[in-house]
Amino acid sequence: MISVFDLFKIGIGPSSSHTVGPMVAANLFLASLLEQAELTDVKGIEIELYGSLAATGKGHATDTAILLGLIGHAPSTIDTRLTSQYLAPIFSDKQLIVSGSHTIDFDTERDIHWYGDTVLPYHPNALTIRARLADDTHYQKTYYSVGGGFVISEENANNPDEDHAAPTIDVIPYPFNSAAELLEQCREHDLSISELVLANELHYRDQEEVFAYLDAIWESMQDCVTRGCQNSGILPGGLDVKRRAQALHLQLCAERNQPIAKSDKLAAMDWIDLYALAVNEENANGGNVVTAPTNGAAGIIPAVMHYYRDFLSSYSQDGARKFLLNATAIGSLIKQNASISGAEVGCQGEVGSACAMAASALAEILGGDPAKCLNAAEIGIEHNLGLTCDPVGGLVQVPCIERNAMGAVKAVNAARLACRGNGQHFVSFDKVVETMKQTGADMLDSYKETSRGGLAIYADNRIPTATQGVSVKYSQC
């Protein structure tokens, strides 16, 4: 089981795989480099981006994320209001201050290489960082950013036994590799999904630490919604996408006590839309968001949790913890058995996964037993199957922001639908996850975070160029 500490992380927008992961990779490279050499021996640094990281890296701020990581900033602690200030020496003086104290010449045109047509063997999101040392030798490492901010080094990719991202399952009290096993464990031990996940978490940390982390994640999500409702203007990147959350928030607040709003039985839906827009606009602006399980899909779980907080009388802090614990089980199963990476399986792996996680968690809040939760999660994925990843201009804005609002509303519907049943359903959660994985494998690369198909070219005002390109497979369709 992947821990709640790994699945939910406070990070930086706009993308967990293309921004958070590359920054983590730069942090790892720096630590590894400093084990091999003195900082003062570093004379130059080159960065190579491959596959999807190169194809959509400019829109996802992959290059600047790596540079910030090399300066010494980490996704969870960086003050995103000061990003331009941190990067100024690079863009104005062509100087990179490695680890915050050692200055080298660095020219983004000369030292960053974009290889969008080259995909390294393990995953479409790959990067290599190379340092030139005083004795004219080089030290280099390759990393894969596999979604949700998770990073695997080339050595670990070639030797999966050394992948320490997930704890070994045989030491936790209630191991599970599939939804069927999870359900069996819940039934045998008379546990809800959140209780089972908590018991597993307590194998590694004490309750105080786990609860403090869960509370911090929930608080960060609420701060993000608050900021998203306050900020307005145009999102960066050149598409001229206007932020909508602030105006919608003012509108909903003004209407709240009007008779028309009181008689509108679907008024909650407008608020769910608002919460999701607020988070994803913050994400698109490069602000702090919680990966849940990715940044592109970061609005769905907070939106449904805000719905729980603001519209259900049963809300409590403990309920918010249960929500995140339950969602962890679902995200863990999807990540282990399929993928949460848009570059690997399309948006079904991002928005579909977040929708399934939120649906299962809400089902538990609504009183659903584990079977109903898994039914809700299955519905959440089933009706996102085949969803492509085609961000216009490589930016996590269109269709991503609105798609989170759709995903959040769908999650509420999935939870309610499942709770009206008895937990039995035609397609099992395990089968739908397997189907998602296979659908992703069959999906053309042009629909997997390359910005070479779908809305990315047809809804883009700019005429597709040779480099923006249409893949051969795509044009044959």
Which residues contact ligand SF4 (rule: CB under 6 A)? 296-297, 342, 347, 350-351, 389, 391, 396, 399-400, 403, 449
Least distance (Å) from ligand SF4 to the CB of residue 454? Answer: 9
328 vs 334: CA distance, rounded Å:
10
228 vs 238: CA distance, rounded Å:
20
Q: Which is nearer to ligand SF4, 66 or 351 (CB)?
A: 351
Parallel, antiparallel, or unpaired: how do β-strands 42-50 and 112-115 relate?
Answer: parallel
Least distance (Å) from ligand SF4 to the CB of residue 331? Answer: 15
The DSSP letter of residue 448 is B
Quick one: tokens of 36? 């091999």
Torsion over CA: 260, 262, 263, 268 (sign)? positive
Residue the block writes with tokens 């709770």: 419
277 vs 280: CA distance, rounded Å:
5
198 vs 189: CA distance, rounded Å:
13
Vertex 386: Cα angle to 452 and 55 (nearest 5): 20
Least distance (Å) from ligand SF4 to the CB of residue 401? Answer: 8
DSSP letters spanning 367-402 = T--HHHHHHHHHHHHHTTTT--B--GGG-S-TTHHH
Least distance (Å) from ligand SF4 to the CB of residue 289? Answer: 12
Q: Which is nearer to ligand SF4, 111 or 449 (CB)?
A: 449
Q: Which is nearer to ligand SF4, 66 or 340 (CB)?
A: 340
Which residue's CB comes closest to ligand SF4? 296
Quick one: tokens of 53? 């990281």
- Give the H/E segment covering residue 335: helix 317-337
Quick one: tokens of 468? 């923006």
Q: Which is nearer to ligand SF4, 192 or 471 (CB)?
A: 471
Q: Please give the span between the terminal C-alpha atoms of the chain, in angstroms, as a whole number.
A: 40
The DSSP letter of residue 460 is -
Q: Which is nearer to ligand SF4, 228 or 342 (CB)?
A: 342
Q: Which is nearer to ligand SF4, 63 or 344 (CB)?
A: 344
91 vs 64: CA distance, rounded Å:
10
User: Is residue 201 classed exposed, middle or buried when 0-12, 13-18 and 19+ CB atoms within 10 A define those classes?
Assistant: buried
Q: Which is nearer to ligand SF4, 279 or 400 (CB)?
A: 400
421 vs 36: CA distance, rounded Å:
59
Least distance (Å) from ligand SF4 to the CB of residue 328? Answer: 20
Least distance (Å) from ligand SF4 to the CB of residue 363? Answer: 23
Least distance (Å) from ligand SF4 to the CB of residue 9? Answer: 16
Least distance (Å) from ligand SF4 to the CB of residue 241? Answer: 13
Q: Which is nearer to ligand SF4, 357 or 396 (CB)?
A: 396
Least distance (Å) from ligand SF4 to the CB of residue 56? Answer: 8
Residues 6+ apart with CB under 8 A from 211: 321
Least distance (Å) from ligand SF4 to the CB of residue 391? Answer: 4
Q: Which is nearer to ligand SF4, 55 or 183 (CB)?
A: 55
Q: Which is nearer to ligand SF4, 250 or 459 (CB)?
A: 459
307 vs 116: CA distance, rounded Å:
40
